[in-house]
Amino acid sequence: MNKRVLLSLCLAFSLCIILPSHSFGQATTGSAESSTFTVQKLYEDFSNPWGMAWLPDGRMLVTERAGQILVFKNDKYTGQKLVGVPKVFSQGQGGLLDIKLHPGYAKNKWIYISYSKPVEGGATTAIMRFKLVGNELTEKKDIFLARPFIKADYHFGSRIVFDKDNFLYFSSGERGTQPKVQQLDNDHGKIHRIYDDGRIPEDNPFVGQKDAHGSIWTYGHRNPQGMVYDAENNTIWAVEHGPKGGDELNLIEKGKNYGWPKTSYGINYDGSVLTKDKELEGITNPVRYWVPSIGPCGMALVTSDRYPEWKGNLLVAALAFRHIARVQLNGTTYATEEKLLQDTGRFRCVGQSPDGYLYAITEGPGLLLKLIPKR
């Protein structure tokens, strides 16, 4: 019996299996380390899950794009949902997206979400913070709205990370405004850096520049749907969707231009040439690109001692190719790659819990999975 059949049986009957490794690579060659783990199916009724976060009391929160936040405890759905979630623009790719706890949550109790906010003239990527009283959102406030507002129902981004100094970074998709991504007078196709209350840091790269939005940290992005902060090396990694081909893994650095739509390894969806340039002077090249597109979404950096062979690796959720890409790095350069859980579903997000276990959520089917290392 082949591995895909075994995996299907596991998911169908809630069993566990051992998955051998697969080698994969685009930019370089080489085989990934052999590793084994068991996978547990914890839940199977998601529609379009997007983000996950853990509270200190052991509850896990999972966002659904339609505008719900489901509450889990001890790896089981409690049957509860948070109340007071803001109204979301749930058309197309829009809706409730990422969720993140403030690093100082134990003291300040702030939780952050990114979502597509319905506004006059269409919708926009918004960042809201709130506190919880029981299961109810309180003290809700939008601390950022991407401007200008646009009618398009796609390419909203959006992920949230905090760095060691508690600055908040988030990604905003380009919403189809290709030429304007290279301009600094709008918030689309950018990664932004703000204080945890929405204020703009004075040391942001374009503060004080005429017509530039001060929150911009980097620009030239298409649709970044995954981002992680590496505390040990004080670096930020992001993945973004290319067009037809040309998905990217980027090392995010202050003030850099990541090229869209001037450079790309992809083409238009109709097969025509988008740009003849894959590299240009002044453009920061991706550390890794995928042709064809894997559809990268949420990602996690493995720091847990439970997965010693994976420490320092990036786990990238792949929608289109229906797997998790385990990306091994050599410093800040790409080394090699391994496919995990091939054909399990459209992987939307990967997360590491406070007790060091890895979890993943998928759509089509809508699963919550837990990866347990094999000793």
List the helix and strand counts (H, then E) for the chain: 2, 25
Q: How many CA atoms lie within 13 A of 182 on its CB side?
A: 9
Look up residue 209 and give its two tokens: 């520049």
Buried b vs exposed e over 97-129: b needs ≥16 C-beta within 10 Å?
A: bbbbbbbeeeeebbbbbbbbbbeeebbbbbbbb
| Three-state secondary structure of 196-207 | CCCCCCCCCCCC
Name residue 138's beta-bridge partners: 131
Backbone φ and ψ of 45, nearest 5°: -120, 20
Backbone φ and ψ of 76, nearest 5°: -130, 145
Task: Find the helix or strand (DSSP H, E) in which 9 lies.
Answer: helix 3-13
Helix %, strand %, coil % for the chain, to 5?
Answer: 5, 45, 50
Catalytic residue among 155, 188, 241, 323: 155
Read off the amino acid at residue 62: V
Distance CA(109)–CA(107), nearest Å, equals 6
Rg of the Cα trace of the chain? Answer: 20
Measure the N-to-C terminal CA separation of the chain; round to a whole number of Å.
24
Q: Are strands 288-290 and 247-252 parallel, antiparallel or unpaired?
A: antiparallel
Are 62 and 31 in contact, with CB atoms under 8 Å apart? no
> CB within 8 A of 270, min separation 6: which ones?
none
Whether residue 155 lies in the annotated active site: yes
For residue 271, the SS3 value is coil
Look up residue 85 and give its two tokens: 């979630």
> CB within 8 A of 8, min separation 6: which ones?
none
Look up residue 114 and give its two tokens: 């990114």
Would you name the residues annotated as active-site residues?
155
